[in-house]
């Protein structure tokens, strides 16, 4: 390993390390615009100049372009190098507008920092500045080309790193332009990263314009809860509401980048309709009143009908605190539950995925980037867990062969081989595709849990075990339905699902339900069954921070806190428990109390709207117990009461891995019955924008969801005389739903795929996420 | 918009190439040859032929001086503005042509006879200052010589 001296300090670095990185290891920050550790070096900006005093090539050199070599002596402070850097900044500023006071990047702008650091304050050049016409790039990213310093970070990220090609660089010399061929919405679901990665204000955050400047915000490390990956974020809050979200570097989870669902999914937290007071039979009451009323009435039903008459339903979007408090609630009261999943088939798949993971086969997303072969089974990362697609792309760029077994028309931003088969055939296809991993040394099997079942997850886990047995460092990477589905699997004690409880309600065994932060209305596949059950109930208590239809229907509604106010621990799909700190103190945002004007000048000891408890506090209250007083005490309580959580004591900046040990997952039914003749199998699948309950509240993301569409295999479409863009009606048992048709050449024949969409009223019609639709019930309404 | 024979020839070359992208310039020039410039439709067609994103074609098209994305006159004058010609007074020659033709760089004369554009180095540094009209380069330029050259185009308009 080469040993070199930088600014009189000696350091030994691995072969191939650039001087700029070696210096960073010493704590010496060499200025840079184009260099980025995730994107590598291109030597475009010339601002990282250093002077090589001794070495193969002496003199002023770009520190991002030269490898550290043995015996090299480098100075970053040499007057010649410092003067070179100063000149670079001066000429970059020739064309850069002096609009810092009104620029949205102002205050967190690398160019601003380095201009100040370089001492450039007086403009010597008297010529005009070159100007550009900006483009409309969609609802998320604001374009301002005049500020560009041609570092090429944006295209390198967009094209090379993330694999989309509708943003590029046109022109030459003083006319280079970074943008699209024509104005339009950026196609990449990772486009928001342009905002983070641009060293100046060419790409800025559009939805958060005019809400605050960098220095106005309280910035808190956060964890994204819009899918199961648990990417790190930085939450910017101001005036008691979240204003902006950025990606935060994580060595283990997401690296530098996040997806746009994670970046813009937070608007649910401060929307006007969010529950902020208690509700009893439609009447607004204080939160305490609602909690006491709920406790008393649940108590009464318990006394009259026994503890079995009360059921508790939770979900994978609650924090570990809430989930464990719910388990505790049922332990102490004898109530049924808590159940954390909706149906047995998906619940069993997710549970099995969590239980199949062990310290040997678990891989983090960063480790997955070094895989040399990937087999993805029933997983669509772009839609189910977007940042995983970025990690897969990095593996593919490094030479990994990627194979996908899936019925859907997968559109991934990298080369892969798609073995399209129907959902029932995945197991068979997996068995015969396993040999593709035989030549690899570090294979990873990715397994989804949305369209698969527990059998396929087990098969994937067995495959990994077999590969490990033959001496490969094979890994298993499962995606789960929700941010804390893994926590639910760890804590579950009752081996049941919401469908089971609904059946018990119908049978008259359960008379009251406490539904805590559950998306039952949204995710429960059989809406008619759910509605029937709700009607039969004596009492429905809903605890939530979302104004879901279920909350509206509840006899007693109790508001709860979002992750930004309560924080919490969330366990991602690889069993990594990560702590989230509250991003702000909570209470009504000033935009609400001031109604767009200055907030009222009243003096009170309390922040208005701060009387809402976290859901776990409410769970303790429903059990008639005093909750732990602080977050730290709550964590200690969890460790003490749940053996599976005892490792939380070892949680550090990287979180801590929790494993289920020998836990038995919830039992699952046999796989789907064979498809009847003359039917197409209709599959409801996850979409990156649309269909995730929290981010569906973000207006800017709804714009990106497009129109509700059904994907058809070309042969199927031709048989029905249907063309792309036609509008068709699909006749369900309970009525027709209309869709725009998209046609694919690379999806499983005999399958129709509908991606979740906020405007599709699916559940009342289909009653399941899979539906066999008779071919004669497919009707063209309108030609394209 | 592309003569069928030329298109067929290009298709064969694309099919035979290891990396079809390497033929991007040839394809664009063929379209330009046929229509005088690379139109929006030609850009899209070229992209489809090469299986590239149309933005990737646009990137190459706008990088090269001799691919025109807008209609040009019958004769395109490229005045070299690189360093040797600049030292030898290319700026004032450009200015002279502008005044003579009554157009600014990037514009086309009203009669559609001339379009005036700058060009980076034409490789005529030993005979600077230089300009290129259509595919012929003229060196050792002076005002008189420019008058002579342009007069030739006035007289014998190439077909």
For residue A45, the enclosing domain spans 3-92
Is residue A635 located within the same domain as residue A498? yes
CB pair distance less than 8 Å for B53 and A165: yes
* B59/A170 touch (CB, cutoff 8 Å), yes or no: yes
In a domain, B104, yes or no: yes
Please check whether residue B68 lies inside any domain of the structure: no
Q: What sign results for the dihedral spanned by CA atoms A362, A366, A370, A375?
A: positive
CATH number at residue A318: 3.40.50.740
Question: Residues A351, A335: one domain?
Answer: no
**Contact (Cβ atoms closer than 8 angstroms) between residue A333 and residue A455:** no
Same domain, residue pair B59 and B79: no
Count the domains in chain A.
4
Of B55, B64, B120, the CB nearest to A180: B55
Of A165, A171, A177, the CB nearest to B56: A165
Q: Which token pair is A493?
A: 């004690």
**Minimal-distance CA residue of chain B relative to A177:** B59
- What's the CA gap between B56 and A746, in Å, rounded? 25
In a domain, A541, yes or no: yes
A510-529 mean pLDDT: 89
Angstrom CA distances, A56 to A8, A12, A59, A85, stand at 18, 17, 10, 22
Q: Which of B57, B15, B17 lies closest to B40 in space, CA to CA?
A: B57
Residue A763 has pLDDT above 80, yes or no: no
Q: What is the pLDDT of residue A510?
A: 95
Q: Judge if A413 and A315 occupy the same domain.
A: no
Instruction: Identify the band that residue A695 occupies on the pLDDT scale cut at 50, 70 and 90.
Output: very high
Which pLDDT score is estimated for B159? 42
Most B CBs within 10 A among A170, A175, A180, hence the mutation to make, goes to A170
State the ipTM, two decimals: 0.91
How far B154 CA lies from chain A's nearest CA (Å)? Answer: 33
Looking at chain A, the number of H-run helices and the number of E-run strands are 26, 34
Chain A: residue whose CA lies nearest to B52: A165
Are the CB atoms for A747 and A753 separated by under 8 Å?
A: yes
Do B59 and B102 belong to one domain? no
Instruction: Determine, for residues B58 and A170 on separate chains, whether the beta-carbon distance falls below 8 Å.
Output: yes
Q: How far apart are CA A778 and CA A678, in angstroms?
A: 11
Whether A433 and A323 share a structural domain: no
Question: Is A171 within 8 Å of B62 when comparing Cβ atoms?
Answer: yes
Residues A737 and A623 in one domain: no
Number of C-beta neighbours around residue B33 at 10 A: 11
pLDDT digits 0-9 by tens, A483-512:
999 999 999 988 889 999 999 999 999 999
Token readout for A197 is: 């990665």
**pLDDT tens for residues B40-72?**
999 999 999 999 999 999 999 999 999 999 999
Looking at per-residue pLDDT, the higher value among A95 and A604 belongs to A95
B159 touches chain A (CB under 8 A): no
The rounded mean pLDDT for chain A is 92
Q: What is the DSSP letter of A157?
A: I
- Residue A262 placed within a domain: no
> What residue in A sits closest to B55 (Cα-Cα)?
A181
Name the residue among B56, B58, B62 with its Cβ closest to that of A172.
B62
Could you give phi then psi for residue B40, rounded to 5 degrees? -55, -45
Does A103 fall in a domain?
no
The answer to whether residue A524 sits within a structural domain is yes
How would residue B156 be classed by pLDDT, with cut points 50, 70 and 90? low
Q: Note whether B143 contacts A: Cβ–Cβ < 8 A.
A: no
Judge if A466 and A551 occupy the same domain: no
Query: Same domain, yes or no, for A406 and A530?
Result: no
Structure token pair of residue A694: 């929290």
pLDDT digits (tens, 9 = 90+) for A702-743: 989 988 999 999 999 999 899 999 999 988 887 888 899 999
CATH number at residue A59: 3.10.20.740
Q: Which of B63, B87, B110 is the last residue of a domain?
A: B63
Same-domain check for residues B41 and B97: no
Same domain, B107 and B37: no
Most A CBs within 10 A among B47, B59, B61, hence the mutation to make, goes to B59
Radius of gyration of chain A (CA): 28
The verdict on B51 touching A (C-beta cutoff 8 Å) is no
Strand partners, A362: A476
**A448 closest CA partner among A479, A417, A477, A420:** A479
Collect all residues of chain B within an 8 Å Cβ-Cβ radius of residue A169: 59
Please give the backbone phi and psi of residue A168, each rounded to the nearest 5 degrees, phi first.
Answer: -155, -170
Mean pLDDT of A278-304: 95
CB A707 within 8 A of CB A401: no
Q: Taking CB atoms and an 8 Å limit, are B58 and A180 in contact across chains?
A: no
Does A392 have pLDDT greater than 80?
Answer: yes
A567: in domain = no
Q: What is the DSSP letter of A672?
A: P
Please tell me whether residues B82 and B113 are part of one structural domain. yes
Q: Are B69 and B61 in contact (CB under 8 A)?
A: yes
The nearest CA of chain A is from the CA of B126 a distance in Å of 24
Is residue B82 located within the same domain as residue B145? yes
- Note whether B96 and B139 are same-domain residues: yes
In terms of domains, do A392 and A449 share one?
Answer: yes
For A333-339, what is the mean pLDDT? 92
Of A445, A428, A424, A426, residue with least CA distance to A436: A445
- By a Cβ cutoff of 8 Å, what residues of chain A touch chain B? 165-173, 175, 177, 180-181
With respect to residue B100, please indicate whether it lies within any of the assigned structural domains: yes
Residue B45 forms part of a structural domain: yes
Across the interface, whether the CB atoms of B63 and A166 are under 8 A apart is answered no
Query: Given an 8 Å threshold on Cβ–Cβ distance, is A168 in contact with B56?
Result: yes
Rounded distance between C-alpha atoms, residue A655 and residue A153, angstroms: 30
Enumerate residues 6+ apart whose C-beta is below 8 A from B27: B10, B14, B46, B49, B50
Looking at the structure, do residues B104 and B138 belong to the same domain, yes or no?
A: yes
| Residue A5, SS3 per DSSP | strand
Phi, psi of A488 (to 5 degrees): -60, -40
Domain shared by A446 and A352, yes or no: yes
The reply to whether A373 and A463 lie within a common domain is yes
Which of A642, A280, A228 has the alpha carbon at shortest distance from A449? Answer: A228
Tell me: pLDDT of A604 over 80. Answer: yes
Domain span at residue B96 reads: 75-155
Q: What part of B 58-87 touches A (C-beta under 8 Å)?
A: 58-59, 62-65
Asked whether residue B56 is assigned to any structural domain, the reply reads yes
Contact A406, A376 (CB under 8 A): yes
Q: What is the pLDDT of residues A212-244, one digit of tens each?
A: 899 999 999 999 999 999 999 999 999 999 999
Min Cα–Cα distance to chain B from A739, Å: 28
Q: How far is A166 from chain B (nearest CA, A)?
A: 7
> What pLDDT digit, counting tens, does each position of B121-149 carry?
999 999 999 999 998 999 999 999 999 99
pLDDT level of residue A276 (50, 70, 90 thresholds): very high
Q: Would residue A395 count as lying in a domain?
A: yes
Residue A385 domain-assigned? yes
Q: Could you give the CA distance from residue A506 to residue A512 in angstroms, rounded to a whole number?
A: 12
Alpha helix ranges (H) inside A4-53: 19-25
Per-residue pLDDT at A195 exceeds 90: yes
pLDDT confidence of residue A713: 94
CA distance A139 to chain B (A): 21
Paired residues of A169 in beta bridges: A178
Helices (H), strands (E): how many in chain B? Answer: 7, 4
The C-alpha atoms of residue A693 and residue A354 are separated, in whole angstroms, by 22
Check whether residue B38 and residue B100 sit in a common domain: no
Chain B residue whose CA is closest to A167: B55
Domain match, B79 and B148 both = yes
Query: Would you say residue A205 lies in a domain?
Result: no
User: CA-CA distance, A278 to A558, in Å (whole number)?
Assistant: 5
pLDDT at residue A672, rounded to an integer: 56
Question: Does one domain contain both A637 and A498?
Answer: yes
Contact A170 B54 (CB under 8 A): no
Q: Are residues A363 and A392 in the same domain?
A: yes
Q: Which residue of B has its CA nearest to A159?
A: B56
* Per-residue tokens: A203: 């790409």
- Which chain A residues are within 8 Å of B54, Cβ to Cβ? 181
A179: nearest CA in chain B? Answer: B55
Residue given tokens 């990156």 in the structure block: A688
Q: Provide mean pLDDT across the span A637-664.
A: 90
CATH of the domain at A706: 2.40.40.20
**Which of A460, A480, A500 lies at the terminal end of a domain, its last residue?**
A480
Give yes or no for a cis peptide into A338 (omega within 30° of 0).
yes
**Number of domains within chain B:** 2
The answer to whether B91 faces chain A, any CB pair under 8 Å, is: no
Which residues pair with residue A515 across a beta bridge? A313, A542
Name the residue among A69, A42, A39, A40 with its Cα closest to residue A53.
Answer: A69
DSSP A663: P
Residue B69: inside a domain: no
Average pLDDT over residues A434-454: 92
Q: What's the CA gap between B13 and A659, in Å, rounded?
A: 58
Chain A interface includes B21 (CB < 8 A): no
* CA–CA–CA angle A439, A445, A447 (5° rounding): 155
Q: Tell whether B113 is covered by a domain.
A: yes
pTM tops 0.90: yes
- Contact between A329 and A353 under an 8 Å Cβ cutoff? The reply is no
Check residue A244 and give its pLDDT: 95
Contact A204, A104 (CB under 8 A): yes
HEC letters along A326-384: HHHHHHHHCCEEEECCCCHHHHHHHHHHHHHCCCCCECCHHHHCCCCEEEEECCCHHHH
3-state SS, residue A690: coil
> Nearest by CB to B54, which of A173, A177, A181?
A181
Where does a domain end: B18, B38, B63? B63
pLDDT at A770 over 50: yes
State the DSSP code for A688. Answer: S
- The minimum CA-CA distance between B55 and chain A, rounded to whole Å, is 5
CB distance A701 to A136 below 8 Å: no
**Which pLDDT band holds residue A76 (cuts at 50, 70, 90)?**
very high
CATH, residue B118: 3.40.30.10
pLDDT reported for residue B12: 93
Angle between helices B4-16 and B24-35 (to 10 degrees): 180
DSSP-derived secondary structure for B27-83: HHHHHHHHHSS--HHHHHHHHHHHT--HHHHHHHHHH-TT--SS---SEEEEEE-SH
The distance in angstroms from the start CA to the end CA of chain B is 20
Enumerate the residues of chain B whose CB falls inside 8 A of the CB of residue A172. 62-65
In a domain, B70, yes or no: no
User: Looking at the structure, do residues B59 and B92 belong to the same domain, yes or no?
Assistant: no
Question: Of the residues B63, B91, B108, which one is the last residue of a structural domain?
Answer: B63
Tell me which residue in B55, B63, B64 faces A166 most closely, judged by beta carbons.
B55
Residues B43 and B96 in one domain: no
User: Would the pLDDT of A671 be above 90?
Assistant: no
Tell me if A170 and B53 make a contact (CB, 8 A cut-off). Answer: no
**H-type alpha helices, A556-710:** 563-566, 590-593, 615-622, 631-641, 699-702
Cα A362–chain centre separation: 19
Residues from chain B that touch A180, judged by Cβ atoms under 8 A, are: 55
From the CA of B48, how many Å to the nearest CA of chain A? 15
| pLDDT digit string, tens, across residues A608-634 | 888 899 999 999 999 999 999 999 999
- Judged by DSSP in three states, B145 sits in helix
Q: What residue of A is the nearest CA neighbor of B59?
A: A170
Q: Which residues of B touch A188 (CB under 8 A)?
A: none
A694: Cα within 13 Å, side-chain hemisphere: 25
A393: domain CATH number is 3.40.228.10
DSSP E strands, A203-277: 203-205, 218-223, 232-238, 241-247
CA distance A268 to A261: 12
Q: Give percent of chain A above pLDDT 70.
A: 99
């Amino acid at each position: 390993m080469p040993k070199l001296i930088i600014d009189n300090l000696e350091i030994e670095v691995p072969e191939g390390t650039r001087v700029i990185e070696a210096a960073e290891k010493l704590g010496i920050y060499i200025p840079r615009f184009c260099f980025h550790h995730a994107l590598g070096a291109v030597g475009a900006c010339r601002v990282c100049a250093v002077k090589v005093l001794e070495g193969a090539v002496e003199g002023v050199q770009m520190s991002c372009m030269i490898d550290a070599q043995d015996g090299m002596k480098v100075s970053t402070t040499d007057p010649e190098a410092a003067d070179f850097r100063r000149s670079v900044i001066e000429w970059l500023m020739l064309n850069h507008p002096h609009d810092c006071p009104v620029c949205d990047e102002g205050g967190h702008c690398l160019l601003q920092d380095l201009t100040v650091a370089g001492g450039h304050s007086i403009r010597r050049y008297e010529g005009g500045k070159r100007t550009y016409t900006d483009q409309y790039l969609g609802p998320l990213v604001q374009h301002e080309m005049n500020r560009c310093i041609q570092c090429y970070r944006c295209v390198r990220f967009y094209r090379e790193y993330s694999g989309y090609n509708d943003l590029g660089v046109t022109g030459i010399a003083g006319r280079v332009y970074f943008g699209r061929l024509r104005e339009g919405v950026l196609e990449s679901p990772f486009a928001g990263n342009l905002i983070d990665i641009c060293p100046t204000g060419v790409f800025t955050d559009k939805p958060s314009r005019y809400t605050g400047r960098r220095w106005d915000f309280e910035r808190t490390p956060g964890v994204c809860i819009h899918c199961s990956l648990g990417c790190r974020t930085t939450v910017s809050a101001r005036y008691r509401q979240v204003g902006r979200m950025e990606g935060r570097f994580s060595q283990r989870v997401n690296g530098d980048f996040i997806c746009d669902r994670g970046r813009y999914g937070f608007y649910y937290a401060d929307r006007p309709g969010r529950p902020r007071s208690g509700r009893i039979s439609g009447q607004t009451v204080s939160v305490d009143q609602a909690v006491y009323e709920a406790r008393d009435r649940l108590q009464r039903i318990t006394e009259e009908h026994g503890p079995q008459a009360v059921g508790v339903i939770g979900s994978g979007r609650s924090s570990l605190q809430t989930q464990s408090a719910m388990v505790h609630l049922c332990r102490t009261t004898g109530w049924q539950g808590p159940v954390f999943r909706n149906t047995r088939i998906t619940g069993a798949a997710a549970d099995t995925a969590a239980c199949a993971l062990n310290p040997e086969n678990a891989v983090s997303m960063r480790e997955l980037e070094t895989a040399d072969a990937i087999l993805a089974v029933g997983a669509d990362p772009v839609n189910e867990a977007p940042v995983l697609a970025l990690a897969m792309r990095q593996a593919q760029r490094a030479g990994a062969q990627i194979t996908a077994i899936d019925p859907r028309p997968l559109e991934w931003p990298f080369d892969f081989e798609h073995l399209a088969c129907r959902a029932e055939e995945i197991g068979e296809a997996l068995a015969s595709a396993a040999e593709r991993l035989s030549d690899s040394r570090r294979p990873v099997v990715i397994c989804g849990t949305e369209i698969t079942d527990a059998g396929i997850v087990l098969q994937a886990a067995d495959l990994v075990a077999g590969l490990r047995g033959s001496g490969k460092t094979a890994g298993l990477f499962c995606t789960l339905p929700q941010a804390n589905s893994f926590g639910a699997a760890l804590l579950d004690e009752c081996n049941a699902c919401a469908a089971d409880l609904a059946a018990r309600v119908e049978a008259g065994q359960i008379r009251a339900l406490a539904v805590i932060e559950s998306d039952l209305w949204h995710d429960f596949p059989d809406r008619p069954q759910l509605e029937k059950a709700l009607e039969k109930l004596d009492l429905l208590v809903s605890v939530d921070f979302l104004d879901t239809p279920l909350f509206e229907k509840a006899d007693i509604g109790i508001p709860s806190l979002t992750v930004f106010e309560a924080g919490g621990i969330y366990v991602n799909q690889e069993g990594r428990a990560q702590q989230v700190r509250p991003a702000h103190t909570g209470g009504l945002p000033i935009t609400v109390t001031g109604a767009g004007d200055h907030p009222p000048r009243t003096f009170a000891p309390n922040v208005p709207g701060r009387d809402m408890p976290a859901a776990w506090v409410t769970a303790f209250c429903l059990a008639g117990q005093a909750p732990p007083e602080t977050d730290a005490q709550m964590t200690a309580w969890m460790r003490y009461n749940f053996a599976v959580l005892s490792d939380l004591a070892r949680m550090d900046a990287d979180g801590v891995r929790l494993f289920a040990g020998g836990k038995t997952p919830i039992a699952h039914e046999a796989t789907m019955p064979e498809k009847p003749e003359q039917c197409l199998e209709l599959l409801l699948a996850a979409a990156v924008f649309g269909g995730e309950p929290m981010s569906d509240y973000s207006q800017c993301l709804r714009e990106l969801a497009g129109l509700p569409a059904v994907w058809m295999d070309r042969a199927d479409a031709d048989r029905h005389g249907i063309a792309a863009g036609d509008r068709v009606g699909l006749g369900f048992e309970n009525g027709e739903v209309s869709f725009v048709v998209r046609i694919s050449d690379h999806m499983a024949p005999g399958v129709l795929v509908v991606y979740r969409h906020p405007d599709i009223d699916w559940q009342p019609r289909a009653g399941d996420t899979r539906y066999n639709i008779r071919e004669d019930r497919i009707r063209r309404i309108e030609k394209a | 918009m592309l003569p069928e024979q030329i298109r067929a020839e290009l298709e064969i070359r694309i099919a035979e190439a290891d990396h079809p992208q390497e033929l991007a310039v040839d394809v664009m020039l063929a379209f330009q040859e046929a229509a005088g410039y690379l139109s929006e439709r030609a850009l899209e067609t070229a992209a489809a032929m090469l299986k590239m994103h149309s933005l990737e074609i646009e990137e190459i098209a706008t990088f090269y001086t001799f691919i025109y994305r807008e209609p040009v006159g019958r004769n395109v004058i490229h005045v070299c503005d690189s360093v040797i010609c600049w030292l030898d007074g290319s700026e004032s020659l450009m200015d002279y042509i502008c005044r003579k033709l009554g157009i600014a760089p990037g514009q086309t004369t009203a009669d559609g006879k001339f379009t005036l554009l700058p060009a980076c180095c034409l490789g005529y540094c030993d005979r600077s200052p230089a300009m290129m009209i259509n595919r012929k380069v003229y060196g050792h330029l002076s005002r008189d010589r420019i008058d002579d050259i342009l007069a030739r185009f006035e007289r014998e308009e190439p077909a």
